[in-house]
A and B are shown apart, each in its own frame.
Chain A
């Protein structure tokens, strides 16, 4: 009997897609994975609407209103939600702007930057509105697992996903989650 495949969704909020690249780094193991899971909404598929899922993987922190919507939707639809990578866990590189006021960031980029023509702060409703600060995902929704790394290695992701899928307790070796 073929077991029903678990549904997995992924997204990148304020991240660099590096964590998704690490996921692709699973290489041939992706075939094994594909036998056990079915991808729902993810940058790797072209599904626009998130369905009911077993697992959601979040890359990146929360920097704008759209991130908030996506993250809350993932929380509402995914039974288990996992934060992957330094940006999701701590805000990471994007959160370096937290040391400055949003006003200063926008003015530096759009008003004072070198070579600007017709400088103005973009205000098109199409553009997601920025939060005053970049936040780690757990400050907005409950997160069930945190996988540190920038990005976590494919091996780490593989061990973790396998343990999770097989219902074992999650236990990663020191070198898989420490970088010293």
Chain B
């Protein structure tokens, strides 16, 4: 721990650097934590005082985000990505191994305060897992040999900067490129095009292109931009949603790593069209490793006149971009929760309408688009709407980036025109023995082999980009159970149907998965799922039951072969639940067992 004086000074410096703005609260807390490894009460109170906020408000924000700690953590904090695709790659075994090497349990901090090990939701490295984060920085391709090295590095207190670079190597694995990834793009081309054409003609091109939001919901981008352009108000904002929290998705990561200029350019031209001077990228905390390079790219763009004041010499064209880092909350991908988080608050979805296009960041008109949407908009500015619309289907123009992971020979990024069949994708990625896929992440669709002829587009199978393959050696229910746990972890807790419903659903699936379920429980899952779909406040809760409801229809045998034939079964092993008390009391009398069978088994050596 730092000296009290320097500690106070550190906090003060950080707050100053952020201009004493309460909208920067999350960013400030992240930085304070970087210095102290966690957020002790005194630090939170001081931040509150410096910002003129109540300590409870600051504490509330600190407690909301998974990556902010209000309890001590190790100086090296290691979090294993725990998506089902990490599990397929054997992450649980590695997790236990590392904990054993450090002599701690999962989620614990070693007594000397040097190291803690836990789990986190998908970190977007599904094509190069098993993955983990160390102090927020991505580790890929873990295996025992790497963990052995990491144990030495941690125990030797070697600073992260001196760890082998290849531990942190993130590759792009672009396996198939089409119009977005394939064609060369000259920096500034899109910004020049919008300057030349003018905002209205640019909007016309966007209408012609038919571009729809690539974040999943598929709202027409031209309509969104137009609504924001026409919304009353002088001050408007552009927000790029790079939260990419959908497990199994990593295409936005690749765009931000290899095509950042394209994305920034899309944002800049959006700013020109709607009349905004400020843009934000909301980058998920898991992609922290990209931050430095992205800031450098922004700086380079400022220096070359593509960003900042008087862009390309036009004094009426002013636009700049700032990057906010998230802190481990999937719900912050929902646009209104994202805006709350950008404002420095905890990320609870707002009541909509009003929509962000009229009441967004600081209640000003705001366009929120996905990373891929901005990249496509930049291409459209250069090549024209018709060019883009010549690809795809009637209702889904252009192309889609798919993130392939799971049981296939060539995981990575595949760009296809909309309308491609699932079967074709499976063939291309070398998934020979697929029994099913999880499309569009846990909130999407569980698709069995009999539906592999379906097409990927908004008319049929819509997706934000996640495509996880399960081959015949897998148990689908392992995946489904993992997804229900994901939603329990990620529910923001604001509304009861989701906060309670996600836990009940996880418990029911666990009950069946562990062989305690009966037909009654399957009925209960369907009932609960229907309630959640209609009663939850935001998309997270409304879609959380999807994998269960889908798989009940698509993979009934995965459930049925585990059912007990009785009408009802306890949700847990009753006899095992008495064992602890038997040991504590030393009792082995008949009353210490529930029935004779348990008694007989218990008496056996």
Interface residues of A (CB under 8 A from B): 65, 68-69, 75, 101-103, 106, 121-123, 125-126, 128-133, 135, 139-142
Contact present for B577 and A132 (CB under 8 Å): yes
B111 interface residue per 8 A CB criterion: no
Interface of A is mostly: mixed
B354 interface residue per 8 A CB criterion: no
What residues of chain B lie closer than 8 Å to A142, measured between beta carbons?
520, 567-568
Contact present for A102 and B580 (CB under 8 Å): yes
Chain A residue nearest in CB terms to B574 = A68
B586 interface residue per 8 A CB criterion: yes
What residues of chain A lie closer than 8 Å to B571, measured between beta carbons?
135, 139-140
Convert B579-591 into 0s and 1s, putting 1 for each residue whose CB lies closer than 8 angstroms to a CB of A. 1111011110111
What residues of chain A lie closer than 8 Å to B593, measured between beta carbons?
65
Say which residue of A103, A125, A132 sits within 8 Å of B592 (CB atoms). A125
Known: A121-B584, A128-B591, A132-B581; 15 extra A-B contacts, CB below 8 A, are A65-B591, A65-B593, A65-B594, A68-B594, A102-B580, A106-B584, A123-B587, A125-B589, A129-B581, A129-B585, A129-B591, A130-B581, A131-B577, A133-B577, A142-B520
Q: How far is the CA of A121 from the CA of B580 in the complex (A)?
A: 13
Give, as a whole number of angstroms, the nearest-CB distance from B414 to chain A: 45
Give, as a whole number of angstroms, the nearest-CB distance from A158 to chain B: 27
B570 interface residue per 8 A CB criterion: yes
What residues of chain A lie closer than 8 Å to B586, measured between beta carbons?
123
- Per CB-CB distance, the 8 closest pairs between chain A and chain B, nearest first, are A123-B585, A142-B568, A139-B571, A125-B589, A131-B577, A130-B581, A140-B570, A132-B580
What residues of chain B lie closer than 8 Å to A75, measured between beta carbons?
568
What residues of chain B lie closer than 8 Å to A65, measured between beta carbons?
578, 591-594
Give, as a whole number of angstroms, the nearest-CB distance from B566 to chain A: 10
Give, as a whole number of angstroms, the nearest-CB distance from A108 to chain B: 12
What residues of chain A lie closer than 8 Å to B97, measured between beta carbons?
none
Say which residue of A68, A121, A133, A140 sits within 8 Å of B585 (CB atoms). A121
What residues of chain A lie closer than 8 Å to B594, measured between beta carbons?
65, 68-69
Give, as a whole number of angstroms, the nearest-CB distance from B346 to chain A: 22
Give, as a whole number of angstroms, the nearest-CB distance from B574 to chain A: 6
Q: How far is the CA of A92 from the CA of B594 in the complex (A)?
A: 24
Q: How far is the CA of A123 from the CA of B590 in the complex (A)?
A: 13
Give, as a whole number of angstroms, the nearest-CB distance from A38 to chain B: 27
B219 interface residue per 8 A CB criterion: no
B572 interface residue per 8 A CB criterion: yes
What residues of chain A lie closer than 8 Å to B590, measured between beta carbons?
125
Give, as a whole number of angstroms, the nearest-CB distance from B597 to chain A: 14
Q: How far is the CA of A7 from the CA of B231 in the complex (A)?
A: 68
What residues of chain B lie closer than 8 Å to A125, measured between beta carbons?
587, 589-592
Q: How far is the CA of A88 from the CA of B414 in the complex (A)?
A: 52
Convert B430-459 into 0s and 1s, putting 1 for each residue whose CB lies closer than 8 angstroms to a CB of A. 000000000000000000000000000000
Contact present for A129 and B574 (CB under 8 Å): no
Q: How far is the CA of A41 from the CA of B257 in the complex (A)?
A: 71
What residues of chain A lie closer than 8 Å to B578, measured between beta carbons?
65, 129-132
What residues of chain B lie closer than 8 Å to A102, measured between beta carbons?
580-581, 584
What residues of chain B lie closer than 8 Å to A101, measured between beta carbons?
580
What residues of chain A lie closer than 8 Å to B584, measured between beta carbons?
102-103, 106, 121
Q: How far is the CA of A106 from the CA of B586 in the complex (A)?
A: 13
What residues of chain B lie closer than 8 Å to A106, measured between beta carbons?
584
A-B contact pairs, 15 of them (CB 8 A): A65-B592, A68-B574, A75-B568, A106-B584, A121-B584, A122-B585, A123-B585, A123-B587, A125-B589, A126-B591, A131-B581, A132-B579, A132-B581, A135-B571, A142-B567
Q: How far is the CA of A129 from the CA of B598 in the complex (A)?
A: 14
Q: How far is the CA of A59 from the CA of B484 in the complex (A)?
A: 31
Chain A residue nearest in CB terms to B587 = A123
Q: How far is the CA of A69 from the CA of B570 in the complex (A)?
A: 13
Q: How far is the CA of A135 from the CA of B570 in the complex (A)?
A: 10
Chain B residue nearest in CB terms to A102 = B580
Q: How far is the CA of A102 from the CA of B578 in the complex (A)?
A: 10
Convert B464-475 into 0s and 1s, putting 1 for each residue whose CB lies closer than 8 angstroms to a CB of A. 000000000000
What residues of chain A lie closer than 8 Å to B592, measured between beta carbons?
65, 125, 129
Contact present for B570 and A129 (CB under 8 Å): no
Q: How far is the CA of A128 from the CA of B581 in the complex (A)?
A: 10
Q: How far is the CA of A135 from the CA of B572 in the complex (A)?
A: 10
* Most chain B CB neighbours (cut-off 10 Å) among A65, A102, A106, A121: A65
Q: How far is the CA of A141 from the CA of B570 in the complex (A)?
A: 6
* Most chain A CB neighbours (cut-off 10 Å) among B568, B574, B577: B577
